[in-house]
Each structure stands twice: as structure tokens, then as C-alpha cells.
């Protein structure tokens, strides 16, 4: 059984206060405004394949930890893309490798989430180890065959009020269309992610542009057509329930080009002759353009900046993306976001949510920016930072400058569907602990702390991701009170 007071402060007085706060948020519905669950999983609603697929191979946190200790990717079932290498295909063997390495996860959030899933979601009575691997495997297989472990049954059991997926700008949104036909259209919503279209030196760019033309029905002969097609696709996403766009860029530069330069670079890119430098400038320019479109159509804009994808070219070539070899680099926001914020940061129709994996900018740049620009909210700790210490540092580094109400509340970024409740529960416990300390230090009263905890877990993400066009935005707004 999971310890009822896990992750609350260890000090008795604070633990008592934190428990009181957490009791007020523990049963709130889950608002999951950003993640990587595939809509088809819920549209098809078929049983999960097997424990190895559910817990190991689909989770790049787990994959990378095993790899870091010398486990070859092949041994955990990673198919080498272009070469004939013996790959482990028996899920039970993969599961055994995972369980034998359970000690590697000590002190990591993966351990915390996995334990929560195994114990709380699946009722596993053993601690993973080489000895218990088979028994746990059999237990899980038996559970996965039951109707109550079908994806939509879990959606209800997890009490997920809204689930946003992440979808390529050129997606057919077939899963979402199917879900909409079954009445899930407002509950499971797509997110517009045009990354593949905004970096013209990516190998797949020409194909992405062709696909954009197909999907939008707009012939893309030049830059203006490209913008029109993007706008058309945004409208389609909005019609399918989308609340937001999402942008994964190496840096957050938002310097706009003038129209002539943008059109010229786009034309050279279409001819396959664009330089790395021009492509980079174009990609920054397009962030600015995406902001302009957000002001018009009300889609909330998310920026996830600062990760160098595929640090190891050979792994990328042999095994594909998302194998754990994405590594953060230093980030800069004060100067990079300036063009966007000067142009749109005080527009009532604009909402920008910024995520980083570089903690050095929390107190130095992001909290001061979010603490003055009305359009900006600071996203929750992302990726490696979505962890107990990561979330504590976030609150400690951000709150004193930005307050609580310039943050987005909790946003989970889950790939593993079954990890969503663990992640939200952990966040609520950490926030309860942080708020308990403010109460214990005499900075807040308990009723203020409870209200803030509820806001962080539930109201703030709903408000942060409300489409601005639908939202009653008053230019004389009184801030967070607006949704009380």
C-alpha cells in the first residue's frame, strides 16, 4: 500500500497542515492540458498490449535509465531502424530486465510514478525485483484483460475532466473525430503543434509542407499560401476542440522578419536551398507569427524551449527519436521573448504559457516576465523537472516574484496514460507541502492556502488554457478573481 502521507513534509506540524490542504485537492478532477497520449488509444479503446509495452518501452524515462547502465536498446525491444540486429521480442524478458534493475530508479520520479501505478492502479502486491518479475508480470496480464482496465474505463476512474493531446499540424485528427462522434469531443481535445513545418532544414520539411497543402486544401506556392494553410488548419483544430498550440524550439527567439525576407526564405526553402542561418531566422519569425495568429483566433500559445533533440546521431539513425538522448541546453528568455511580448504581451486576447528545462531562468527571467506581462503564464516544471525536488524548486524560485496566479497550475506532459493520476497526485502533494510551510511560517492563513491549492490543481490550468476568444476577457480585469 502507498503511504497515505507520502511526499508531504516530514516535520509533524507541517505534515498536519499539508494533510489538511491535500484533503481538499485530492479528489478534484484531473485537468490535463498538455500531454502525449495518442487519441487513437481512447478512440479504439482496446486493451493495453502487455506490461513491457505499458511500463517500459513506451516510457523514455525508463528506457534511458536502463541504457545509462549498459543495457543495450535491443535488449529492451527497441527496434533498430535500418539494421538487422537481434532484438528482444519477448515482453516477459524485457519485463525481467526492467525488474532486475529496479534499484536504478531509487530517488527518481519514475520510481514514484511506477510504484503508484503498480500499487494503486493495478493492485500489484510485490516490490519489483529479479525474483518477483514473473509474478508481477502475470498479475498485470490478468488485470489488462479486464474491462475495467480498458482506456476509457481508466479515463473515468482517473476522473479526467479534460485531456489535451499533442497533434501534428498536418494530422487528420482521425482519433479525435472518432471520439467526437462518441461524445468525447469536449473531453479529449487536440493541440496544434506545427514544429515540423517551422524548421525548414528538417529532413521531413518538404513532405510536411506537401501534407499541409493536402490537409488544408490550399495549394502552397509561396509564403502567403503557407500562412493561409496554417490558419486554415488552426481553424480545423479549433473546430475539433483545440484550446492551444504548442511549439518545441531549441531556443525561444521570436524576432520577426519583414514580410519580404520571410517570403524569400520560404521560397529558397521550397527549392531546397535554404541555409541553416536563414532557416533559424525563419523559425524564430514563425513563433512571432504564431503569436499574431493566437491574438486573432484565441488559441493559447505554449512554448517548450531548450532541448537539443537526438544528441547521439547514431542512436537516432538506428533507433529513431525519443530514446532518451534529448539533452537540455542553456536557455534565454528576456531578450528572446522581447519582440513577441512587446508586440502582444499586453493584448487582452493573447495568452502565452512558457516551459523550460533550464532552472537558471526561473527566478532571473521567467518569473519577472510573467510577473508583469498580462499575456504570460509560467508553465509547470517540465520533463526532468516534473519531480518532487523539481517542483519544490520551481515554487521556491518563482512564487516570490510571480506569485501563484501568474503560473499555469499543474500541467503534466504525460506519455504513459496510466501515469497521469500519479503525476497529478504528486503535484498536489508537493504544493500542499509548500503551502503548509507558508502557513507554518505565518505568511498565509490556512483558508488562503486551501484556496490557493485548489486554484493550482484545478482552476488555474482551466483558466490558463481557456481559449481567449471564448473567454470573457475584460480589459479592466481583476485577474484571477475573474473565474472565481
319-338 positions binding a second copy, by CB under 8 A: 324-330, 332, 334-335, 338
Distances (CA, A) of 116 to 3, 112, 121, 438: 10, 6, 7, 28
SS3 303: strand
Q: Is 481 in the site for a second copy (CB under 8 A)?
A: yes
Of 188-196, 208-216, 285-293, 369-377, which segment contacts a second copy by CB under 8 A? 369-377
Does 86 interact with a second copy (rule: CB under 8 A)? no
Site for a second copy in 349-368 (CB under 8 A): 357-360, 363-365, 367-368
Where b means 16+ CB within 10 Å and e means fewer, 95-118 reads bbbbbbbbebbeebbbbbbbbbbb
**Least separation, in Å, of the C-beta of 401 and a second copy?**
5
Q: Which is nearer to a second copy, 276 or 314 (CB)?
A: 314
Using the minimum distance from each CB to a second copy, give the nearer residue, 241 or 461.
461
What are φ and ψ of residue 45, in 5° steps?
A: 55, 45
Number of chain positions touching a second copy (CB under 8 A)? 107
Element (H, E) at 328: strand 327-328
Please report how close the Cβ of residue 450 comes to a second copy at its closest, in angstroms. Answer: 12
Q: Given the rule CB under 8 A, which of 97-105, 197-205, 214-222, 258-266 is the region that contacts a second copy?
A: 97-105
The reply on whether position 256 binds a second copy by CB under 8 A is no
**CB nearer a second copy, residue 74 or residue 225:** 74
Nearer to a second copy, 2 or 144 (CB): 2
C-alpha cell of residue 101 = 534493475
Single out the residue of 66, 198, 299, 450 in contact with a second copy (rule: CB under 8 A): 66
Residues in region 424-453 near a second copy by CB under 8 A? 437-438, 440-444, 448, 451-452
Helices (runs of H) and strands (runs of E) counted in the chain: 22, 11
Which region among 18-26, 65-73, 150-158, 267-275 touches a second copy (by CB under 8 A)? 65-73
d(CA 291, CA 459): 24
195 Cβ neighbours under 8 A, 6+ residues apart? 247, 248, 249
Q: Nearer Cβ to a second copy, position 31 or 66?
A: 66
Angle made by CA atoms 263, 198, 300, in degrees to the nearest 5: 110
Closest distance of CB 349 from a second copy, Å: 12
Q: For 356, which DSSP code?
A: E
Q: Is 302 in the site for a second copy (CB under 8 A)?
A: no
Least distance in angstroms from the C-beta of 351 to a second copy: 11
E strands, 152-296, are 160-164, 167-168, 188-189, 192-193, 244-249
Q: Which residues of 132-165 are buried (b: 16+ CB within 10 A; e: fewer)?
A: bbeebbebbeebbeeeebbbbebbeebebebbbb
- Where does this chain touch a second copy (CB under 8 A) — which range of 203-211, 278-286, 310-318, 415-423? 310-318
Other CB atoms within 10 Å distance of the CB of residue 472: 8
Q: Report, in Å, the least distance between residue 107 CB and a second copy.
A: 4
User: Footprint of a second copy on residues 201-230 (CB under 8 A)?
Assistant: none
- In this complex, which beta carbon is closest to a second copy, that of residue 152 or of residue 471? 471
Of 26, 349, 371, 471, the one binding a second copy by CB under 8 A: 371
Which residue from 24, 45, 58, 108 is in contact with a second copy, where contact means CB under 8 A? 108
Using CB under 8 A, which residues numbered 10 to 39 contact a second copy?
10-14
Q: For residue 467, state whether it binds a second copy (rule: CB under 8 A).
A: no
Contact 212, 233 (CB under 8 A): yes
Write down how long the chain is. 484
Q: Is 276 in the site for a second copy (CB under 8 A)?
A: no
415 binds a second copy (CB under 8 A): no
Among 39, 42, 67, 457, binds a second copy (CB under 8 A): 67
Task: Give the DSSP letter of residue 376.
Answer: E
Edge-first strand listing for the sheet containing 192-193:
167-168, 192-193, 244-249, 300-305, 352-356, 376-378
Q: Which of 40, 111, 126, 235 binds a second copy (CB under 8 A)?
A: 111
For residues 97 and 208, which CB has a smaller minimum distance to a second copy in the complex? 97
**Cβ 303 vs Cβ 35: under 8 Å:** no
- Separation CA 336–CA 375 (nearest Å): 16
- How far does the chain reach from its first CA to its final CA, in angstroms? 37
Q: Is 289 in the site for a second copy (CB under 8 A)?
A: no
Nearer to a second copy, 112 or 226 (CB): 112
| Number of other CB atoms surrounding residue 322 within 10 Å | 17
Q: How far apart are CA 101 and CA 66, in angstroms?
A: 7
In degrees, to the nearest 5, what angle opens at C-alpha 95 toward C-alphas 92 and 96?
A: 90
**Shorter beta-carbon distance to a second copy: residue 196 or 320:** 320
Residue (193 or 395) nearer to a second copy, CB: 395
- Is the Cβ of residue 1 or residue 203 nearer to a second copy in the bound state? 1
Q: Which of residues 127-186 bind a second copy (CB under 8 A)?
A: none
CA–CA separation, 295 and 348 (whole Å)? 8
Closest to a second copy by CB, 260 vs 475, is 475
Q: How far apart are CA 133 and CA 419, in angstroms?
A: 20
Near a second copy in 386-405, by CB under 8 A? 387-390, 393, 396-397, 399-405
Bridge partners (DSSP) of residue 301 are 245, 352
Burial class of residue 443 in the structure, from the number of CB atoms within 10 Å of its CB (0-12 exposed, 13-18 middle, 19+ buried): exposed
Amino acid at each position: 500500500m502507498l503511504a497515505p502521507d507520502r511526499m508531504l513534509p516530514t516535520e509533524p506540524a507541517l505534515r498536519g497542515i499539508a494533510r489538511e490542504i491535500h484533503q481538499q485537492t485530492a479528489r478534484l478532477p484531473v485537468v490535463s492540458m498538455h500531454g502525449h497520449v495518442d487519441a487513437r488509444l481512447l478512440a479504439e479503446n482496446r486493451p493495453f498490449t502487455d506490461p513491457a509495452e505499458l511500463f517500459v518501452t513506451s516510457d523514455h524515462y525508463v528506457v534511458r535509465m536502463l541504457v545509462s547502465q549498459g543495457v543495450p536498446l535491443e535488449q529492451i525491444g527497441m527496434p533498430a531502424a535500418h539494421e538487422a540486429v537481434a532484438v528482444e521480442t519477448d515482453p516477459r524478458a524485457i519485463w525481467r530486465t526492467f525488474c532486475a534493475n529496479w534499484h536504478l530508479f531509487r530517488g527518481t520520479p519514475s520510481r514514484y510514478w511506477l510504484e503508484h501505478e503498480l500499487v494503486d492502479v493495478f493492485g500489484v502486491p510485490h516490490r519489483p525485483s529479479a525474483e518477483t518479475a514473473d509474478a508481477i508480470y502475470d498479475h498485470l496480464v490478468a488485470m489488462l484483460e479486464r474491462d475495467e482496465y480498458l482506456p476509457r474505463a481508466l479515463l473515468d476512474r482517473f476522473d479526467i475532466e479534460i485531456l489535451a493531446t499533442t497533434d501534428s499540424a498536418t494530422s487528420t485528427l482521425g482519433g479525435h473525430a472518432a471520439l467526437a462522434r462518441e461524445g468525447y469531443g469536449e473531453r479529449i481535445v487536440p493541440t496544434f503543434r506545427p514544429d515540423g513545418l517551422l524548421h525548414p532544414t528538417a529532413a521531413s520539411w518538404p513532405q510536411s509542407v506537401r501534407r499541409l497543402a493536402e490537409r488544408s486544401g490550399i495549394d502552397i506556392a509561396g509564403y502567403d499560401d503557407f500562412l493561409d494553410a496554417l490558419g486554415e488548419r488552426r481553424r480545423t483544430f479549433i473546430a475539433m476542440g483545440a484550446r492551444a498550440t504548442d511549439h518545441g524550439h531549441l531556443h525561444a527567439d521570436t524576432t520577426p522578419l519583414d514580410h519580404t525576407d520571410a517570403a524569400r526564405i520560404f521560397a529558397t526553402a521550397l527549392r531546397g536551398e535554404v541555409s541553416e542561418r536563414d532557416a533559424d531566422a525563419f523559425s524564430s519569425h514563425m513563433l512571432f507569427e504564431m503569436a499574431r495568429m493566437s491574438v486573432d483566433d484565441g488559441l493559447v500559445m505554449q512554448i517548450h524551449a531548450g532541448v537539443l533533440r537526438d544528441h547521439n546521431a547514431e542512436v537516432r539513425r538506428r533507433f529513431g527519436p525519443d530514446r532518451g538522448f534529448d539533452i537540455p541546453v542553456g536557455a534565454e528568455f528576456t531578450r528572446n521573448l522581447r519582440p513577441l511580448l512587446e508586440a502582444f504581451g499586453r493584448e487582452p486576447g493573447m495568452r502565452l504559457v512558457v516551459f523550460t528545462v533550464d532552472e537558471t531562468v526561473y527566478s532571473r527571467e521567467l518569473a519577472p516576465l510573467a510577473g508583469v506581462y498580462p499575456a504570460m503564464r509560467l508553465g509547470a516544471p517540465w520533463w526532468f523537472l516534473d519531480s518532487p525536488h523539481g517542483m519544490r524548486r520551481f515554487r521556491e524560485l518563482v512564487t516570490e516574484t510571480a506569485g501563484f496566479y501568474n503560473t499555469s497550475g499543474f500541467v503534466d506532459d504525460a506519455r504513459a496514460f496510466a501515469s497521469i493520476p500519479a503525476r497529478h497526485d504528486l503535484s498536489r502533494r508537493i504544493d500542499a507541502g509548500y503551502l503548509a510551510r507558508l502557513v507554518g511560517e505565518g505568511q498565509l492563513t490556512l483558508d488562503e492556502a486551501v484556496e490557493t491549492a485548489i486554484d493550482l490543481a484545478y482552476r488555474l490550468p482551466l483558466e490558463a488554457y481557456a481559449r481567449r476568444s471564448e473567454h470573457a476577457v475584460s480589459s479592466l480585469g481583476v485577474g484571477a478573481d475573474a473565474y472565481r
